[in-house]
Amino acid sequence: MQLKLVAVLLLGLAARASAYPTAFQFDQDPVAGDGGGGIPFDGAPRWTEHTCEVCHTGAPHTISIALESDHPELFTTGWVAKQQYHLRVKLLNEWAGLEYVANGDSCGQISDVPYKPCDDNGFALELDDRTDHPTGTFAQVANNACTTAVPADPIVAISKSGAAIHEQHNGRTTWDVCWTAPASGTGDITAYLAVVDGNGGTGSAGFPNDTIGDDVAAGAVPLTEAGSSSSSNTGGCNATGDSAGLGLVLALVLLAARRRRTLVTGLIGVLVAAAATGCVHVRPRQRETLAHRNMTFAPDGAEDELDLHMQESREGSSGGYGSSGGGCGCN
Q: What is the pLDDT of residues 220-233, one digit of tens each?
A: 999 999 998 654 43
3-state SS assignment for residue 228: coil
Burial (CB < 10 A; 0-12, 13-18, 19+), residue 238, is middle
Contact yes or no for 196/52 (Cβ under 8 A): yes
| Per-residue pLDDT reduced to its tens digit, 182-209 | 999 999 999 999 999 998 887 777 776 6
- In this prediction, residue 268 has a pLDDT band, given cuts at 50, 70 and 90, of very low
Closest CA to 249 of 229, 271, 278: 271
Give the phi and the psi of residue 195 in degrees, each rounded to 5: -135, 155
Mean pLDDT in residue range 148-170: 91
Pairing type for strands 156-158 and 4-10 reads unpaired
Pick from 199, 147, 206: which is nearest to 176 by CA?
147
pTM, full prediction: 0.67
- Please report which confidence band the pLDDT of residue 92 belongs to, taking 50, 70 and 90 as the band edges: very high
Looking at domain 4-260, its CATH architecture is Sandwich (2.60)
Sorted by sequence, the CB contacts under 8 Å of residue 303 that are 6+ apart come out as none
Instruction: Please state the length of the chain.
Output: 331
Residue 26: count other Cβ atoms within 10 Å of its Cβ.
Answer: 23
Which helix or strand (DSSP H or E) is residue 8 part of? strand 4-10
219: pLDDT strictly greater than 50: yes
Where do the domains of the chain lie? 4-260
**Are the beta carbons of 155 and 172 closer than 8 angstroms?**
yes
pLDDT given for residue 141 in this prediction: 95
- Strands 164-166 and 174-180, how do they pair? unpaired
